[in-house]
Amino acid sequence: MLPLRPTTVLLLASILPRSHAADEKLSFNEHVRPILSQNCFACHGTDAAHRKAGLRLDEPESAYAERKGVRAIVPGNVEASEIWQRIISPHEDEVMPPPDSHKQLSARDKAVLERWIAQGARRN
C-alpha cells in the first residue's frame, strides 16, 4: 500500500464531511420549514387572501395533492415535483419564488429542498 500524500489527506478530509452530510436524513422542521417560511409561505401559506394557485405548502394534504394532473410535491420523485420544476426554471414567468417577490433561494436552499423531496418529503 502506498503512503498517502499530505495533499491527498487534505482532499479526503474536505470531501468526507460533505459526503456524510448528503446522507443525513433531513428534518422538515429543522431544515425545510425555515426555507419555505422565508421564501414560499407568503403566497402558499395560511393567508387565504394572499394564497396563489390555491396551494398551501404548509399543509401536506395540499402540497401533495394532484391539481389538474400536477402535484407540487411528489415524495421521493424530484423530477415529477412541480415545486422543483419551478425552482429550477429559467423562465421568469415560471420560476419560484417569482422575481417580483424579491426572494431568492440560495444554492444550499435548493440542495436541501431537492434532497428532502428525494428522501420522501417527510414532515417529521
> For position 19, what pLDDT does the model report?
41
Say if pTM beats, i.e. exceeds, 0.85. no
DSSP string, 13-58: HHHHHHHHHHHSPPPIIIIIHHHHHHHTHHHHSS-TTT-STT--SS
Q: Using alpha carbons, list the distances in angstroms from residue 107 to 111, 112, 113.
A: 6, 9, 10
Q: In whole angstroms, give the CA distance from residue 20 to residue 60.
A: 28
Statement: residue 120 has pLDDT above 60? yes
Name 70's bridge partners.
67
What is the average pLDDT value for the chain, to the nearest integer? 88
